[in-house]
Amino acid sequence: MSDYTVISPYSGEPILTRSYADRATITDVVKRAEAGHRSWRAQPLSHRLAVARRFLDEVVARRDALATSITQQMGRPSRYTQGEVNGLLERTRYLISIAETSLAPHPVPQTPSAGAATPGFTRYITKEPLGVVLVIAPWNFPYLVAINAVLPALLAGNSVVLKHSPQTPLCGELLVECFNAAGVPTEVCQACPMNHTDCDWAIETLPIHFVCFTGSVPAGRLVAASAAKQMLGTGLELGGKDPAYVRADADVAYAVEQLVDGACFNSGQSCCSIERIYVHTDVYQTFVDQFAKVVGEYRLGDPRDPATTLGPVVHKAAAERIRAQVAAAVAAGAQPLIDEAPFRAQLSALAAGSAKTAAAFVIPQVLVNVTHAMAIMQEETFGPVVGIMPVDSDATAIQLMNDSRFGLTASVWTQDLDAAVRIGQQVETGTWFMNRCDYLDPALAWTATKESGRGCTLSAFGFDQFTRLKSYHLKH
């Protein structure tokens, strides 16, 4: 086994050290999961649901520890981390409420299409668990993204091996601890830290039956290639460059408030954060002025301080990449609207006690005079930066929103419901919002198109990728 150390994005100092599992350990984990699946699937769904309800109690009991672990490992300000715990509870409750219906056998009418009854036959289709599900979870929303896969997989009768990000191993450990304490056998839900090479090896060689991955497009391609060697199914939630369109009839003040949050929450580190905005020329200048004003009111600081509204990004290298993307856009003619001086003063105060502190902070920025020839409007930024362009019509907005290799979410800001639906029907995206953004409703399918991925979590359809159909055709 080899050790790795988690570095605080805030201080640059070590937080904790863990060990990657070696291949012998990984093999043992997967074999235990395979054996555990056989007994777990034999339990009635009512038992698995009762365990899931106890999981809710375990999460509530550990609420503060779960929230603190997010701030500690990935730097989100503490004022926001309880929100993720609340989201974890909300999604769990909803998935529990629909599990029985979503996993029920599908009856087939016993009368054929010809109209004549066929006595002596029973036909139905069941949803069978797959076996061992490997969940590869990211650091940016360490509980919310993981639960999307772990819970429905377990409720469907699978066993789960959770490989959490090496930036947030404590989150994976705490999540599994909650499930185990609730009554999920330790061999049915396990955390297993793996490096990238050994994870690919495990997918290619061990008895894993499905892989659910959330992360970057390049990493997703590697996971898909490894899974193909065993003909495994994959659920891939990858990158985003999510657009918003502000129509002339929008409530501008409300759109500004929501879109600033959609761009800057979690320091912009969300697959579905707002990264590009198209504004009708009639309201463009008003929108831009108000938007820049609100962004300028953010406060960089110690994420443990309740007054901090913008924490660091995940590490120094990510901060440097984001700054380079902004600098390239400015060099190509983009105009930055945010005065960086007040933010630099905040960072200087943070760095006064440590040369490392503040290295992973990114000053939020709003860019105008941008074009689709710039990476800032084409490539994922994953930081508190947004580009804004004027448009003269719905048709132009639709064309620009679709001019992307990504398709996770998109939104329109308008008071015209019919227009929102009409535009949404033409936009290539997994989720279409009206007057909302950067939100996952557990009742709706979380899915994508283009390079943003494939598969589905949440909603009644979120159980499907963790099951296979089995037909029963019985003559009696």
Task: Please give the average pLDDT of every successive group of 10 residues along the chain, which has 476 residues.
Answer: 93 95 98 97 98 98 98 97 98 98 91 60 94 98 98 98 98 98 98 98 98 97 97 97 98 98 98 98 98 98 94 96 98 98 92 74 98 98 98 98 98 98 98 97 98 97 97 92
pLDDT of res. 121:
85
> Which 3-state string (H, E, C) describes 315-371?
CHHHHHHHHHHHHHHHHCCCEECCCCHHHHHHHHHHHCCCCCCCCCCCCCEEEECCC
* 3-state SS class at 199: helix
- State the amino acid at position 86 in one-letter form: N
Domain borders along the chain are 2-238+452-475, 242-441
Exposure string of 426-442, with b = 16+ CB inside 10 Å and e = fewer, is ebebbbbbbbebbebeb
Give the catalytic positions in this structure. 237
Please tell me the class of the 242-441 domain. Answer: alpha beta
Q: How far apart are CA 187 and CA 444, in angstroms?
A: 31
State whether CATH 3.40.605.10 applies to domain 2-238+452-475.
yes
**Residue 345 CB contacts under 8 Å (≥ 6 apart), including other chains:** none
**Residue 236 CB contacts under 8 Å (≥ 6 apart), including other chains:** 213, 214, 220, 223, 224, 453, 454, 455
Alpha carbon 252 to its chain's center: 28
> Are 428 and 451 within 8 A, CB to CB?
no
**pTM for the predicted model, two decimal places:** 0.96
* CA-based nearest residue to 408, from 454, 346, 347, 367: 454
